[in-house]
Amino acid sequence: MQITRPGPMSSTETQPNTLTRAFGLYRSKRFAEALELAQEVRNRKPEAALAWYLEGLCELARNEPAQALAPLQRAALIDANEAAYLEPLAIALLRLHRYREAGARLEALCRIAPTPQRQLMQGRAWWRGGDYPAALACFRSAATTATQPDAALTLAKALQSLGQREEAGSVLQAALRQWPGDADLYVTLGVDRFRDDAPSLAIDAFAAAVRLAPGHTLAHCLLGITLAFAGRPDDASGHFEIAGQDPRTAPALDAFRYMQGAPAKRHFGVFTDTLRYALDQADPAGLALEFGVYHGRSLNLIASHWPGAVHGFDTFSGLPQDWNADNPSGSYSTDGRLPDAPANVTLHQGLFDETLPALLATTDTFVAFAHVDCDLYESTLSALEPVAPRLRPGSVLLFDEFFGYEGWRDHEHRAFSEICARFDLQFEPLAYSLFDKQAAIRIL
């Protein structure tokens, strides 16, 4: 992170030469030496906020956010009006997945010294903490004054994920008028505009991204896939060739090949469209379940669309084990705090293989719809094993991370395949959202 050194060092902080040397060592990435000097100063003068601040910066640079927290909190306590102390403190809290605390610190920071980047960071903290209205307010504020398209992109994607498609499209169009040369905006616009029955708008957007950034392998990948959907495989082949040179696109290309071998009736660009379509195919006389609630974003969408009762299952303590490098054990924890839920929703806190059988023991009703957002193989298996005997022809399963990411064949996809083999289930793909990794399946 960029270092902001607070204003002139006060006489109470003493050891100015020591701290000057320490900051120099920090800028030279000699973090251990800088840390030692910072600790020397704060041991002699506990009121030296700058020394505590530098100690926290060094710990952050050493990827030790837990160690950074106390000194950064001490610096902010000594001088609560110094903006420079609040930003790294918020970053430490974010790295520790303490999103609501980070949001509160960033809110204080933005009152003192607002910038679009700080508002964007605050919005991301609220988003990860499950306060979606507060997050949108921050994203909108950041997008209004930003000099780069990042805030508009974040706002548009957030609106897409909440089903507010019209505003998302308006945000992207306004951003493109301001930054007409930004390829990422066109990629996001292409995803937003994707329709399997009218792919030309998405093709135009992805093609614009490729023209602006010929090396944008994701744009080539998405353009190739959309051209193939449109029945233009010859036009798609060159884009697949370029995309295939980047290992980051390999999971998406692998998933596309899977889709070709198991074609679905419909294809959608964003998850909310896939979710609504899947719900419309399910029989409302049966049970509607969600496995993996987190902050309840998708559960609220299900509840608003489903005419009857909806049941949400989660431990609310995060992933029980590592999923991948970006999602270690404990990710997606709410620290046991249950989200606010609509009146037709019942939340079941605990392990799937404990809470689900308890519900099923109270009713003979079949499972009409299940949203499976379990991420991990073992978690998915523990949800599907009790569900499988309650499935019948017409039951719909919507998987949230079915394919399109590194290692996708080892998790939700694998668990579903094993359940089908064990319970002799036949199925047909209903819909895919490759851009968002979802698959909707109907039991035959």
* Distance between CA atoms of residues 69 and 56, nearest Å: 7
How high is the pLDDT of residue 429?
A: 97
Q: 305 and 371 in contact (C-beta within 8 Å)?
A: no
The DSSP annotation for 332-349 comes to TB-TTPPPP--TTEEEEE
Q: Which residues of 259-297 are buried (b: 16+ CB within 10 A; e: fewer)?
A: beeeebebbbbbbbbbbebbbebbeeebbbbbbbbbbbb
Q: 92 and 85 in contact (C-beta within 8 Å)?
A: no
Contacts of 339 (CB under 8 A, 6+ apart): 130, 293, 294, 295, 296, 299, 347
Structure tokens given for 4: 């902001």
How high is the pLDDT of residue 375?
A: 80
C-beta contacts of 29-34 below 8 A and 24+ residues apart: 29/61, 31/58, 31/61, 31/62, 32/58, 32/62, 34/58
Query: For the chain, which residues score pLDDT lower than 70?
Result: 1-16, 318-334
Q: Which listed CATH number (1.10.1060.10, 1.25.40.10, 1.10.150.120, 3.10.580.20) goes with 18-143? A: 1.25.40.10
Enumerate the β-bridge partners of residue 433: 438
* Distance between CA atoms of residues 338 and 419, nearest Å: 29
How high is the pLDDT of residue 404?
A: 92
Domain boundaries defined on the chain = 18-143, 149-262, 267-443
Q: 351 and 376 in contact (C-beta within 8 Å)?
A: no
How high is the pLDDT of residue 323?
A: 54
* Distance between CA atoms of residues 8 and 82, nearest Å: 12
- Residue 50's closest CA among 22, 90, 27? 22
* Distance between CA atoms of residues 257 and 307, nearest Å: 36
How high is the pLDDT of residue 13?
A: 45
- The 8-class DSSP code of residue 372 comes to E
How high is the pLDDT of residue 16?
A: 66
Domain 149-262 in the same topology as domain 18-143: yes
Neighbours of 312 (CB within 10 A): 26
Amino acid found at 383: A
How high is the pLDDT of residue 80?
A: 84
- Residue 106's closest CA among 77, 74, 138? 138
* Distance between CA atoms of residues 437 and 429, nearest Å: 14
Taking 3-state DSSP, the helix, strand and coil percentages for the chain, each rounded to the nearest 5, stand at 60, 10, 30
Q: What is the pTM of this model?
A: 0.87
Q: 408 and 380 in contact (C-beta within 8 Å)?
A: no
Alpha helix positions (H), 146-294: 150-161, 165-178, 183-193, 200-212, 217-229, 233-243, 250-261, 271-281
Q: What CATH number is given for 149-262 in this structure?
A: 1.25.40.10
> From residue 384, how far is each of 141, 330, 430 by CA, in Å?
42, 22, 18
How many H-runs (helices) and E-runs (strands) does the chain carry?
A: 20, 8
Q: 143 and 173 in contact (C-beta within 8 Å)?
A: no
Fold of 267-443: Rossmann fold (3.40.50)
- Residue 35's closest CA among 64, 12, 13? 64
Q: What is the pLDDT of residues 378-414, one digit of tens each?
A: 999 999 999 999 999 999 999 999 999 899 999 999 9
How high is the pLDDT of residue 216?
A: 98
